[in-house]
Amino acid sequence: MDKQKFEEARRKIITFDERERHGIGMQMEKTLHAVLKYYEDPDDDHQEIPIENYIADIYTGSEIIEIQNGNFYKMRGKLDTFLPLYPVKIVYPIPHVKYVTWIDPETGALGKKNKSPKKGSFYDAFRELYRIRPYLGKTNLTIDLMLIDMDEYRLQDGWGSNGKRGSHRYDRIPKELIDELVLSSPADYLAFLPYDLPDEFSSGDVAKAAGRRSDGFSTVLQILTDLGVVERTGQKRGRSYLYRINEKYSDK
């Protein structure tokens, strides 16, 4: 993680002159995506490169880098094409502390900035990682998770009395890179297992030790099982399956 490099990328993309000329989010490319592209590789000649039937966000000459804000399912076609040819890194930004500002879609007026009650963590990536489960064990694939404080601007164009349900995100402005986790081998996924887990544990145990709600943690264990990091013991505690760390990784 290079916070200075991230700040340089942020300042390069986000300038007061651009904001005054075009308004928030009016560039050809959304702000967060543009900042991360510059952070990964500031050379314009390496960006938006045609490879086979796709456009790679970045092609360095030896590696493909894709900035993916969500919907990893759409990455499957690219991964099928890119992975046999080059190492691929998927960069996935996760909102850490987020402030939301609503935009009137008719007048463009900005509402009050409010802090989101949800604080993001690396565990939030598993919903997306599940969508590319068959690819996670590929030696050519790296997942780069970034926790970023950011401002989010949303159009108040949804339904309901306040127009917020089903609304559309307009832009996200990164403020600070908080942490980064690079997953390039199954062993790297041990970072999702807290140190104080018992020898045999359920998905609920992992959630509790991580200080998270248990909703969705079965997905975490499913992916770690697919990668061979953990294995089912064959026992249950109530309705919950029990797991243990695979002996291959138990001393890491």
User: At residue 140, does pLDDT exceed 70?
Assistant: yes
Mean pLDDT score, 163-169: 76
Name the domain boundary from 168, 184, 200: 184
Does residue 194 sit in the same domain as residue 174?
A: no
- Domain span at residue 201 reads 189-249
More confident residue, 111 or 56: 56
pLDDT for residue 23: 45
Calpha distance 31→232 (Å, rounded):
43
User: At residue 27, does pLDDT exceed 80?
Assistant: no
Q: Are 169 and 152 in contact (CB under 8 A)?
A: yes
Report helix angle 31-40 to 3-13, nearest 10. 130
Q: What are the residues whose beta carbons fall under 8 Å from the beta carbon of 90, sequence distance 6 or more?
A: 66, 68, 72, 75, 141, 142, 143, 144
Instruction: Give the tens place of pLDDT for each residue, 48-103.
Output: 999 999 999 999 999 999 999 988 999 999 999 999 999 999 999 999 999 999 88
Burial 136-175 (b: 16+ CB within 10 A, else e): beeebbbbbbbbbebbbbbbbbeeeeebeeebeebbbbbb
pLDDT band, very low/low/confident/very high, at 22 (cuts 50, 70, 90): very low
pLDDT for residue 78: 96
pLDDT for residue 252: 58
Q: Provide the number of structural domains found in the chain.
A: 2
User: Poorest-confidence range of 11-20, 130-139, 160-169?
Assistant: 11-20
Does residue 164 sit in the same domain as residue 244?
A: no
Does residue 52 sit in the same domain as residue 92?
A: yes
Name the domain boundary from 130, 164, 184: 184
Enumerate the β-bridge partners of residue 66. 90
Calpha distance 148→67 (Å, rounded):
14
Collapsing DSSP to helix, strand or coil, 139 comes out as: coil
pLDDT band, very low/low/confident/very high, at 161 (cuts 50, 70, 90): confident
Collapsing DSSP to helix, strand or coil, 103 comes out as: strand
* Nearest Cα to Cα of residue 228 among 189, 183, 182, 184: 189
pLDDT for residue 13: 86
- HSE, CB side, 13 Å, CA atoms: give it for residue 154: 22
Secondary-structure breakdown of the chain: helix, strand, coil percentages, each rounded to the nearest 5: 35, 35, 35
Q: Note the pTM of the prediction, 2 decimals.
A: 0.88
pLDDT for residue 187: 94
Q: Are 204 and 216 in contact (CB under 8 A)?
A: no
Name the domain boundary from 128, 150, 184: 184
Does residue 92 sit in the same domain as residue 47?
A: yes
pLDDT for residue 68: 94
Does residue 139 sit in the same domain as residue 239?
A: no
Place of tokens 């009016």: 26
Collapsing DSSP to helix, strand or coil, 224 comes out as: helix
Does residue 69 sit in the same domain as residue 141?
A: yes
CATH code for the domain in which residue 227 is found: 1.10.10.10
Calpha distance 242→216 (Å, rounded):
16
Instruction: Give the tens place of pLDDT for each residue, 173-211.
Output: 999 999 999 999 999 999 999 988 999 999 999 999 998
Does residue 149 sit in the same domain as residue 99?
A: yes
Distances in Å between the Cα of 214 and the Cα atoms of 114, 123, 210, 218, 221 are: 26, 11, 10, 8, 12
pLDDT for residue 205: 94
pLDDT for residue 14: 81
Calpha distance 54→81 (Å, rounded):
8
Does residue 36 sit in the same domain as residue 146?
A: yes
